[in-house]
Amino acid sequence: MTDLGITAGENYNDYVGPAEEYDFMGASQFRLLCTLGLRSKHKLLDFGCGSLRAGRLFLTYLDEGCYYGVDPNRWLIEDAIKFQVGQDLLRIKKPFFSYNDQFSLAEFETHFDFILAQSILTHTGIDLVRLCLQNFARYLKPDGLILATFLEGDYDTEGDSWEYPMCVTFRPSTIRQLAQDVGLVGISIPWFRPRQTWYVFAKDQDRLPTEAMFPYLHGAVLFDSMLGSSKK
């Protein structure tokens, strides 16, 4: 396990990460998926959606019934609705939420164009990563994309526990192998993410971004000294 010095606060905007990053971390996920072709008609699963850091932006953008969120900490979603989203947007966009903690997607009875798992597989032992990727693959459309962050390291974190706010590491070769085991192909992309690395998974190699596309997948933020390292 790795201690990145991040604590889990008690409020909706600091339980999921540093409060001063709440805006940026949501915007970054939204920008990444839009860069990868997310359109309003697409069905998006925001797995471990937390306090709708990204969800509040996707909800505004996507068509009615296209946003699906899973998070067992129901209070995070409820506070995000209270303080960020509002009942009017829920009434208009009719999102689906599940509060199950079993890493199950069965209750939605649908397949997704995009599956997002931001800072989730950085807290799960290898058995849970396997389970997640298996379920993601099962409910991903044939041409869909999975976006997930990992903390790359020199060793793999064994077991099936959820570690929070501590992080777990996996070797890049293990991440690719876990994906392959469930019929996915995956690569890391250069999209800026403090501390973690973004991976893209698909059912077909041809669906993955090529290295020639990497300059478009940078995620740099200009004119903000806090995010200066994003321009490297």
Ligand X SMILES: C[S@@+](CC[C@H](N)C(=O)[O-])C[C@H]1O[C@@H](n2cnc3c(N)ncnc32)[C@H](O)[C@@H]1O
Query: How far, in Å, CA of 71 to CA of 74, rounded?
Result: 7
45 binds ligand X, rule: CB under 6 A: no
Paired sense of beta strands 140-150 and 112-117, if any = parallel
For 78-103, the three-class secondary structure string (H helix, E strand, C coil) is HHHHHHHHCHHHHHHHCCEEECCCCC
Which of 37-45, 68-76, 152-160, 192-200 is the region at the interface with ligand X (rule: CB under 6 A)? 68-76
Residue 136 CB-density burial (10 A; 0-12 exposed, 13-18 middle, 19+ buried)? buried
Q: Indicate whether 129 belongs to the interface with ligand X (CB under 6 A).
A: no
Nearest distance, CB of residue 124 and ligand X, angstroms: 8
Piece of the chain touching ligand X by CB under 6 A; list 37-45, 70-78, 188-196, 202-210: 70-78
CB of 211 to ligand X, least distance (A): 26
CB of 94 to ligand X, least distance (A): 21
144 near ligand X, judged by CB under 6 A: no
Q: Within positions 103 to 122, which residues make up the interface with ligand X, using CB under 6 A? A: 103, 118-120
125 binds ligand X (CB under 6 A): no
Q: If binding is defined by CB under 6 A, does position 33 make contact with ligand X?
A: no
Q: How many residues touch ligand X (CB under 6 A)? A: 19
Give the one residue of 32, 70, 85, 105 binding ligand X; rule: CB under 6 A. 70
Question: Quick one: 182 or 185, whose CB is closer to ligand X?
Answer: 182
Q: Does 85 bind ligand X (CB under 6 A)?
A: no
Min dist. Cβ of residue 206 to ligand X (A): 28
Nearer residue to ligand X within complex by CB, 54 or 175: 54
Q: What is the CA radius of gyration of the chain?
A: 17
Beta strand spans in the chain (E): 44-47, 67-70, 96-98, 112-117, 140-150, 185-189, 197-202
CA distances from 201 to 53, 57, 75, 180, 224 (A): 22, 23, 30, 10, 30
Residues 162-181 that bind ligand X (CB under 6 A): 162
Q: How far apart are CA 40 and CA 61, in angstroms?
A: 6
Phi/psi for 98 (5° steps) reads: -125, 140
Q: Using the structure block, give the residue that is written with the tokens 């995956």.
A: 186
Amino acid at site 209: P
Instruction: Name which position in 57, 76, 80, 167 contacts ligand X (CB under 6 A).
Output: 76
Residues engaged in binding ligand X (CB under 6 A): 16-17, 25, 48-50, 53-54, 70-73, 76, 101, 103, 118-120, 162
